[in-house]
Structure 1
Amino acid sequence: MDTAVQTLHIDVVSDVVCPWCFIGQKRLDRAIAAVPEVDVEIHWRPFQLDPTIPLEGRDRKEYMLSKFGSVEKLHEIHARIESLGAAEGIDFDFDAITVSPNTLDAHRVLRWAAANGAQVQGRLARRLFQLYFEEGKNIGDHAVLIEAAREAGIDAPVVEAMLATDADRDEVLDEAATASRMGITGVPCFLFESKYAVMGAQDTDTLADAIRQIAAAKARGELETAR
Structure 2
Amino acid sequence: MAEAPNAAVLSVDVFMDVICPWCFVGKRNLDIAISLLPDLEIAVGWRAFQLDPTIPASGKNRRQYLTDKFSDPMRIDEMHARLTDVGGAIGIPFAFDRIEITPNTLDCHRVIRWASAAELGSEAVEALCTAFFCEGRDLTQADTLAEIAEAVGLDGDDVRDRLATDLDVEIVRAEVDYAGRIGITGVPCFVMAGKYAISGAQPPEMMADAFERVAAEVIGRAAE
| TM-score exceeds 0.5 | yes
Cα deviation, residue 143, structure 1: 1.0
CA contact (8 A) 1:6 1:37 kept: no
- The aligned residue for residue 208 of structure 1 is 208
Instruction: Please state how far the C-alpha of 1:51 moved relative to its aligned partner.
Output: 0.3
| 2:152 aligned partner, one-letter code | A
Which residue matches 2:192? 192
How far, CA to CA, are the matches of 2:8 and 2:114 in structure 1?
27
Q: CA deviation at 1:131?
A: 0.4
For residue 123 of structure 2, what is the aligned residue in structure 1? 123
- 1:97 touches 1:133 (CA, 8 Å); kept in 2? yes
One-letter code aligned to 1:135: E
Q: Distance in 1 between matches of 2:182 and 2:194?
A: 11
Aligned counterparts of 1:54 and 1:201: Cα–Cα separation in 2: 28
**Per-residue deviation at 1:218?**
2.3
Q: Could you tell me which residue of structure 2 aligns to residue 165 of structure 1?
A: 165
Give, in whole Å, the separation in 2 of the partners of 1:84 and 1:184.
24
Equivalent residue pairs, number: 218
Instruction: Give the gaps of 5 or more residues in structure 1.
Output: none
Structure 1 window deviating more from structure 2 (58-67 vs 90-99): it is 58-67
**Separation in 1, partners of 2:76, 2:217:** 43
CA distance in 2: counterparts of 1:132 and 1:68, whole angstroms: 20
Deviation per CA, 1:45-68: give whole Å up to 9, x if none. 000000000000011112211222
Q: Secondary structure at the match of 1:221?
A: helix
Give, in whole Å, the separation in 1 of the partners of 2:219 and 2:71.
50
Higher mean C-alpha deviation, range 64-73 or range 157-166:
64-73
CA distance in 1, matches of 2:169, 2:139: 16
- Which residue does 1:69 correspond to in 2? 71
Deviation at 1:91, TM superposition (A): 0.6
Contact 1:82 1:92 in 2 (8 A): yes
Query: 2: CA distance between counterparts of 1:189 and 1:106?
Result: 18
Match of 1:135 in 2: 135
**Cα displacement (A) at 1:86:** 1.1
Q: Does residue 89 of structure 2 align to residue 82 of structure 1?
A: no
* 1:220 positional shift: 1.0
Query: 2:59 aligns to what?
Result: 57
Cα separation, 2, equivalents of 1:67 and 1:122:
28
**Secondary structure class of the residue paired with 2:43:** strand
Amino acid at match of 2:149: A
Residue equivalent to 1:7: 9
- Distance in 1 between residues matched to 2:8 and 2:31, nearest whole Å: 17
Distance across 1 between alignment mates of 2:50 and 2:93: 23
SS at match of 1:220: helix
State the 1:159 CA deviation: 0.8
Q: Residue in 2 aligned with 1:99?
A: 101
Which amino acid counterpart does residue 178 of structure 2 have in structure 1?
T
What is the DSSP-based 3-state SS (H/G/I as helix, E as strand, rest coil) of the residue aligned with 1:185? coil
Give % identity: 43
Question: What displacement does 1:26 show?
Answer: 0.7
What amino acid does structure 1 have at the position aligned with 2:172?
V
Gapped regions of structure 2 (runs ≥ 5):
1-6
Counterpart of 2:30 in structure 1 is 28
> In the TM superposition, what whole-angstrom CA distance separates every residue of 1:160-194 from its partner, at most 9, and x where no partner exists?
11100111111100011000000000000001111
> Amino acid of the residue matched to residue 105 of structure 1?
D
Matched to 2:67, the amino acid is: L
Instruction: Report the CA distance between 1:152 and its aligned residue.
Output: 1.0
